[in-house]
Structures are given as C-alpha cells and as structure tokens.
Amino acid sequence: MKKKLFVFCVLLAGAALCSVCFAERYRYALIQEAENRVVIIDYANKVAEENLNDYFIPLNTKQERFAAESGFRNISSYYYSGEMALIYLDCTKNIDDPDMKFIDSWNEFMSYVRGTK
C-alpha cells in the first residue's frame, strides 16, 4: 500500500513539473521603427490573426521562424552600427509587469528568433 502511494505521489509530482516546464508559450517579434528597437515577446495566450502585421510577427512555427530569421539578417547592420536595441519581454507570468531583458549580442537575438532560448 505504501509503495503504491509513493509511486502515485511521484507520478503526480512529475505531472505537475511537466505542466510547469512545458507550459504553452507564444512568441512574437515586435518591430518598433520609431524607437529603433526589436522586441521579442512571449505571451501565454495566442494573439489573434487580425492583430498581426508587418511589424508584429509570429515566431511560433518553423516556417514563421525561418521567414523572420531571413528578414532580420537584412537589418543586422543596424544592430552592429549601434542604431538598434534588442529586447526580450516575458509576459507569460504578468502581462502588466513583464520581465524585461536587454539582449547583448546578435547571436543571442537569433537564438530567441529560432526558439532555442
């Protein structure tokens, strides 16, 4: 009886950990031309299709990430010349007060675009 209870508790703890670790995230890139910055944003909920445009790009599928990566390569010179800032926002926990991080390198930015970070 104790062994079954122990196994049940271990499985329950594993399921809870998996739900936290593999929570659904939706990633988008926001190009703010007036401020000369690109913001990578993680949301807990999917943004409606009608809200997406040329400046608010989804990064959720392989095709979307590939297209965005190709487009961002064209503007890398602006980053290297110091004219553009790269920022990451995590809005999955609290959309009103997101965690913000300045991205320090172009390779780190591309890893966010690729979804590896």
Radius of gyration of the chain (CA): 18
pLDDT at 94: 87
pLDDT at 24: 84
Which residues sit opposite 40 in a β-bridge? 29, 88
For 17-31, what is each residue's pLDDT tens digit?
444 445 689 999 999
Taking the C-alpha atoms of residue 69 and residue 112, their distance in angstroms, rounded to an integer, is 10
Residue 14 binned pLDDT confidence (cut-offs 50, 70, 90): low
For 79-108, what is each residue's pLDDT tens digit?
999 999 999 999 998 888 899 999 999 999
pLDDT at 1: 57
For 34-85, what is each residue's pLDDT tens digit?
999 999 999 999 999 999 999 999 999 999 999 999 999 988 999 999 999 9
Q: Domain residues of the chain, as ranges?
A: 24-114
Contact 39, 113 (CB under 8 A): no
Residue 78 vs residue 3, higher pLDDT: 78
pLDDT at 8: 44
DSSP 48-84: PGGG-BTTEEE--SHHHHHHHHHHHHTTHHHHHTT--
